[in-house]
Amino acid sequence: MNSLRVLVVLLATASCSLVQLTDPYGNVYGGWYDHGQNYRWQLATCEQEIVERNPPNAARKQYMRCCMWRHGVPIDDAAACGAATG
């Protein structure tokens, strides 16, 4: 029975990667009802913007999240990017 539980956990973990998109900085976009694969063009656009604007390395992870948000990708911490809060 324990091996069945382990198998279920492993399958659930592997399935998450099918619906999520990860950028080079470790940010994750999407989920079960909002597939991250839908955000490929935003990812490519933001990667190009980082190359063009060349922000400091320490700021690139947040810069990427905010860039994705500016291009319509929902993120958890939009307030950190200057989003108006309720």
pLDDT at 4: 61
pLDDT at 6: 53
H helix runs in the chain, sequence order: 2-19, 40-53, 60-70
Residue 86 to residue 21: CA distance in whole angstroms: 27
Q: Is the pTM of this model over 0.85?
A: no
Residue 73 to residue 21: CA distance in whole angstroms: 11
* Sign (positive or negative) of CA dihedral 60, 64, 69, 74: negative
Number of CB atoms found within 10 A of residue 70's CB: 16
In a structure prediction context, what are the per-residue pLDDT tens digits for the chain, which is 86 residues long? 666 665 454 444 444 456 789 999 999 998 877 778 889 999 999 999 999 999 999 999 999 999 999 999 999 889 999 865 44
